Chain A
Amino acid sequence: MQAIHTRFSPIKDSVQQIAIRLNQPEYYWLTRPLMAFLITRVIVFLGAYLAEIAIPGVVKDGFYHVNPNNVWLDVWARWDSAFYIRIVEDGYWFTLGQQSAVAFFPLYPLLVSFLAPFVGTLAAGVIVSNSLFLGALIFLYKLTELEFNDAAVASRTVFYIAAFPTAFFFTAVYTESTFLFFTISTMYFSRKQMWAWAGLFGLLCASSRIVGIVIWGVVGLEWLQVHSWTLGTIHKREAWTNLFKALKTDWLNLGAICIIPLGLITYMVFLKVQFNDPIAFSTTQSAWGREMIGPIAIIWRDLASLMGGDFLKGDIWWHVILDLSAYFGVLLIAVAIWRRLGAGYALYCILSIVIPSFSGTGSLSRYALVIFPAFMMLGYWGRWQWLDRTVIITFSVLLGILTTLFVNWVFVA
């Protein structure tokens, strides 16, 4: 027995040393996001698996199963996932008047296509989604710590976003985690004034989703702010003098920021060459029944339909409650963000939620998922214990319910 103990104790010791070392504050940037990732993903994976096997499967035309022989993976391909999988396997298509693949930006399917030959498209999609989600959590932790200089705020922030009711999309074959990763990393580098890195990540962000282009404006605003030009000093001569001076002295960094739109432009050129319609991603939106009638008309219509329903009988569109809650929640928090974190973050929040609402409120609860400044603000407010507990309980319960619905082919967002 003594011999065995002697043989294994060096390994045990080194594991213990690593554990102790990782638990030091200088490694929080890794351990806290990793913990949030592991805890929530275990819950989400187990929940989805149980939801699929325990609830009788809904059988209906249109409800596909990409890999019915592997429930763990199959549950992560629902609704729009089919578009990404088809893009990877058969390339883009565009048929006027029909729901077409061109609505989905290329970065995520491209990343999946690199991995797909080795593990299959579905598994590749899940791996890419989860890997980039972990990366996004790490960047979010570092960014939040940078802004608040408080590890506790950063820890709460990453947990809140990982447990958000629609956070299962970060695991599914959807583009949310890709977009989140490149958005936060761009913001992180711009706040660190590493403009060329911000340009690189911003470029990729702009090729992952249409609202990715918003990050260009946010980074630009940050650059202006660094050079003493802000929305608050726009009327002052000194601000403009500083700006002209910056144009002369810091043109290289400004140029680096200006590569961000190339992500979108590359995709538009591709669409022009392939389908003779550079804005095909917008053209095809009508096939989803989306109309550009403006956010006020859209919100008013949804509120009216909500008020016209019978809550007691359940005769209401429950999506509307989720989507409107996300919409107004983000707008309200944006006010606090403006005051605490500045105009750049706040404008990002507002534009990210308002732009999609021009054509409908559907899926806003998914779009809100990637509006990370709102979670930073929640993380800050979470220092009040009652709020922290309320947020965690509410988010976790809803995450379980919505994951169950999503897996069983109920449209969530």
Chain B
Amino acid sequence: MLQRPTFRSTGLPLGLAVIALIVLNLGLYTRLVALPEQVVFEIPYFEDFATLTTNPYDEFGGDWEIRDETLVQLSTDGFDLTTYIPLALAPEQIYVYETKIKFLGGTMGGGVLFNAQQTTSRQKSHMVRFNVDQDQLWMIYGYFGDDSDFIGQGSILLAITPENVDQHRLKVQVNPESYNIYLDDGLLVDNIPLNYFGGSVGLITATSQVAFDDVRIDENITQAIPATQPPIIMTDSVLQPTTDVSIILDTPLFTDSFDSVGGESLWQPISGDWLFSDGRLVQQLTDGFDLSNIYQRALPYPMTFKATFQHQQGSGAGVLFNLPQTGSKNGGHMVRYIDMGDVIAWGYFDESGVFNGQGDIKVGQPGQISHTLAIIVNGQTYDIYLDDTLLRNGIPIVNPVSPSYIGVTASQSAVSFENVDVFTGTTNLTQPDIETTANINIESATGTWIIDGGNITQTDTDNTDYVAGTGFAGEQFTISVDINLPPDVPDAGAGLIFHMNGRDDRSQGYMVRFGSGGSEVFWGQFTDDGTFAGDGGVPTEIEPQESQRLQLIVSENTFDIRINNKTLVESIPLQRTNGWIGLVSFRGPVQFSNLNLQLGE
């Protein structure tokens, strides 16, 4: 039965529909239309906030106000409270961006954003800021990726307390392909790869009240040359190549030993039967090809990707990289054992998922022992290493994608993956070739260790052996270091320690060090409970107050001690054949320099 159209049943709603459409359109084109990028500043730019009463920048969270001629972010609750300085820097623009930062309260600190690709979110921008971790103040640096997650490129522990309220000058020098960080005019880190180019810059705070002042953006980068050394204690990831200590700029992007399992894992299988078991990621099916598990965060080039695995049944383990997406291996590259076992093949999947081989090489049967497959991706090419042996280098990447995804894979085999490490940069994995360069990562176990330029100084003065790990473990290696003992502490000593139980655990480690102000060298081993038991010692005939070079040549079952390039003792027997390597200081202050480590025979 039809009702007759009336004004109330038909005319009114249709009229309202017309009004609704008009309002919808007007709203879209006036209220919700994208605001034009208002570029109101140009470089060179300087602002000291002396004459302003309100924040002149675009706010993205937080409570920004002008207080006492500084720009202050007041909220201590928010994490990424940002204000963007409306600039549009060209991608090729080289510039220096600096500001004075004063911590006023809270739990973290402030910093800067730069090369931000948009001012409406953190997506695709670089960040450098103060950060507090384990009651220590760090400078962290990295970038917010496509999904706004922060991907760290490194961090540096600072010799400043988290509660410090002094004003510090934070400066970023943006080069064509990299950037450098300076604190109080001292270089903290340089040559950090850029992921994003050009765009805007901003100020950022994390759960802290922070005052910013004297914001300067300038294309004159010569002003950024460091004048003094910054207050660094040590780094968690890199020591910078300043003067003496030789370093490779490799920063771990992430390392996963599969200890944390559960719903938060970033490893997502796309095929196969995967589970976390006893700190391993295990693929159990033995009757499928290219059964893969992909890490859900994109990683930039250049990078070094290492996966350690063990075949449990059959053979066919390997790795995937250059994956354009997380849900499929299509478009990605693969390197793996083939199911015959003694051959490693490599190639890429095309867009439809068909594998195209690029080559193979005969290797030994993998057996059921651990192997490490490493891929060094330079950008346009990649190199393959198996157990630190170069298999092939300079293989072209078909359609390189950076950042892109990585994965682990298994075919016709049950495989357990023990850990995966990814570094920025391209470490040379053939370690014996490293003559004077060591990727050293000093970490204090006891005492206070300060990195100042190329020098490492232990400053605590108690009558005990202070230890710092180098971050390296080894079986056979040569290590040398120049040592300056304090002239006014007659019983001071310093030396080296190796074959330690842990990176920061000296138990079972062998110690060789100067004693009694340098008048003797003695050696011995720490017991399980950390007590030192001496094995021998000899007097030295060296002049005090001068730098002494201590060198240890550690072989499979013995080691030699050399002082100032002369052999002091040879073939001291070893009961323990491997472990972690570190520096040791008895009282202080003791200065170490020219630290060199060569792994391998």
Contact = CB atoms under 8 A, between A and B. Distances in A.
Interface in B13-68: 13-14, 16-17, 20-21, 23-25, 27-29, 31-35, 61, 63
Interface stretch (A22-30, A56-64, A323-331): A56-64
Interface residues of B, number: 63
A184 B67 CA distance: 51
Interface stretch (B268-276, B362-370, B550-558): B268-276
B326 A289 contact: yes
Contact of A266 (B24, B122, B327): B24
A66 interface: yes
Interface string A82-121: 1000111011111101110100001101100100000000
Given A207-B24, A308-B269, A59 B207 contact: yes
B325 A291 contact: yes
B123 A98 contact: yes
Contacts of A250: 2
B10 A256 contact: yes
A109 B34 CA distance: 13
B221 interface: no
Contact of B14 (A256, A313, A317): A256
A232 interface: no
B2 A66 contact: no
Contacts of A319: 263
Given A91-B35, A249-B2, A316-B263, A66 B61 contact: yes
A189 B117 CA distance: 47
Given A61-B144, A64-B80, A68-B75, A92 B275 contact: no
B243 interface: no
Among the interface residues B10, B12, B28, which one has the most CB atoms of the partner chain A within 10 A? B28
B28 A110 contact: yes
A62 B326 contact: no
Interface in A269-313: 270, 274, 287, 289, 291, 293, 305, 308-310, 313
B13 A313 contact: no
Nearest to A290: B327
B325 A259 contact: no
Chain B contact surface mostly: loop
A13 interface: no
B78 interface: yes
Interface in B193-235: 206-207
B149 interface: yes
Given A90-B35, A90-B120, A266 B10 contact: no
A46 B61 CA distance: 25
Nearest to B10: A196
A194 interface: yes
A234 interface: no
A113 B31 contact: yes
B9 A196 contact: yes
A193 interface: yes
Interface residues of A, number: 67
B33 A289 contact: no
Nearest to B63: A69
Among the interface residues A86, A95, A196, which one has the most CB atoms of the partner chain B within 10 A? A196
Interface in B323-375: 325-328
Contact of A110 (B27, B150, B296): B27
Given A86-B120, A197-B13, A266 B21 contact: yes
A93 B120 contact: yes
Contacts of B461: none
Contact of A200 (B5, B17, B263, B326): B17
A91 B13 contact: no
A311 to B, nearest CB: 12
A267 interface: yes
Given A61-B79, A98-B124, A263-B24, A193 B17 contact: no
A41 interface: no
A106 B27 CA distance: 9
A38 interface: no
A116 to B, nearest CB: 9
A402 B155 CA distance: 35
Contacts of B5: 196, 252-253
Contacts of B12: 196
Contacts of B326: 289
B164 interface: no
Given A106-B24, A289-B327, A313-B261, A62 B150 contact: yes
Among the interface residues A87, A91, A310, A317, which one has the most CB atoms of the partner chain B within 10 A? A91
Interface string B116-133: 011011111000000000
A387 to B, nearest CB: 31
Contact of B150 (A61, A200, A270): A61
5 contacts: A60-B79, A63-B80, A256-B13, A274-B33, A305-B268
Interface of A: 57, 59-66, 68-69, 82, 86-88, 90-95, 97-99, 101, 106-107, 109-110, 113, 193-197, 199-200, 203-204, 207, 249-250, 252-253, 256, 259, 262-263, 266-267, 270, 274, 287, 289, 291, 293, 305, 308-310, 313-319
